[in-house]
A and B are shown apart, each in its own frame.
Chain A
């Protein structure tokens, strides 16, 4: 029979109830402390970044740009010619959007965006990149086997549709302009924006349809 050992219990209690963060969390905390001490970083700016990008921006900003392009052909043409200037017209700016290239899906072309080196992404338009975008599995296969990757996202691209893969860099970010879904002809710009998903602007989703939208419901992860 197991006996109660007061000494052992006293020893174990603080261990069981330890609130010491995990090793990676401690490392990040220490890193932040050092950077603040060196005057390189303001903790408030870090907290604000997390709040703004994970909770406020999400992919809704990008969805609004796509909807505007669907409704205003002159804007669409400016967007394709010079993405950064066109989104700046809508008041969207940011260091990561200084060089933005918008690539348009058509009946014969599908575009897919990746960052083979790390995870470069147009945060100002799409919020924070999804976890799969950062994984080696996506980063390497998107170039080597784009149809295979798209199949994993339940997208079958017909053989007569060419797939263009765009490799983001620190200097150049991409946004896919998806095709306007069938049946949306009479919808308002706001309603159209609600149909646009984050994945469709990365290119891992080709087919949008009325009723699919994720963005308007705040799914930005």
Chain B
């Protein structure tokens, strides 16, 4: 742990908005009962360990990437579906002019 991380005021919870969004999704799924707390803790612990063992640095970014890994795992989401949706969002961003809201065809978010 970096000593500079220690003081209270130098340690923001999130470095980037996607991290807050990922963590919030996990907490809402726990609160609405879609994910069981004990299963979540095990899945997240495993996802963190896997990331670190594969060489990722011990950082906030790695932690939140593990949160998304654990969500994919615990909800049994298919990799193909996820990749397809990622590419659909990428295409939507690439083809939407600056200043216009980016909307994925067929969805409301």
Contacts and interface: CB of A to CB of B under 8 A. Distances in A.
B40 to A, nearest CB: 6
Nearest to A141: B1
Contacts of A40: 29, 32, 34, 75
Given A152-B1, A204-B6, A24 B81 contact: no
Interface in A46-68: 46-47, 49-50, 53-54
B83 to A, nearest CB: 8
A46 B28 contact: yes
A183 interface: no
A171 B52 CA distance: 25
Interface string A1-33: 000000000000010011111101111111111
B59 A170 contact: no
Nearest to B63: A134
Given A24-B61, A118-B48, A29 B89 contact: yes
Given A28-B68, A54-B14, A132 B85 contact: no
Contacts of B15: 131
Contacts of A118: 41, 44-45, 48
B28 A41 contact: yes
A24 B15 CA distance: 12
Nearest to A199: B8
A198 interface: yes
A49 B28 CA distance: 7
Interface string B33-74: 010011011101100100010000011110111001001100
Contact of B11 (A30, A130, A137): A130
Interface residues of A, number: 66
Contact of A132 (B11, B30, B89): B11
Given A36-B109, A135-B58, A135-B59, A28 B21 contact: yes
Contacts of A50: 20-21, 24
Interface of B: 1, 3, 5-9, 11-18, 20-25, 27-32, 34, 37-38, 40-42, 44-45, 48, 52, 58-61, 63-65, 68, 71-72, 75, 77, 81-82, 85-86, 88-90, 93-94, 98, 104, 107, 109
24 contacts: A20-B93, A24-B65, A25-B16, A29-B18, A30-B86, A30-B89, A33-B109, A34-B82, A34-B85, A35-B25, A35-B71, A40-B29, A41-B28, A49-B28, A53-B27, A96-B30, A118-B45, A130-B13, A132-B1, A132-B5, A132-B6, A135-B59, A141-B1, A221-B12
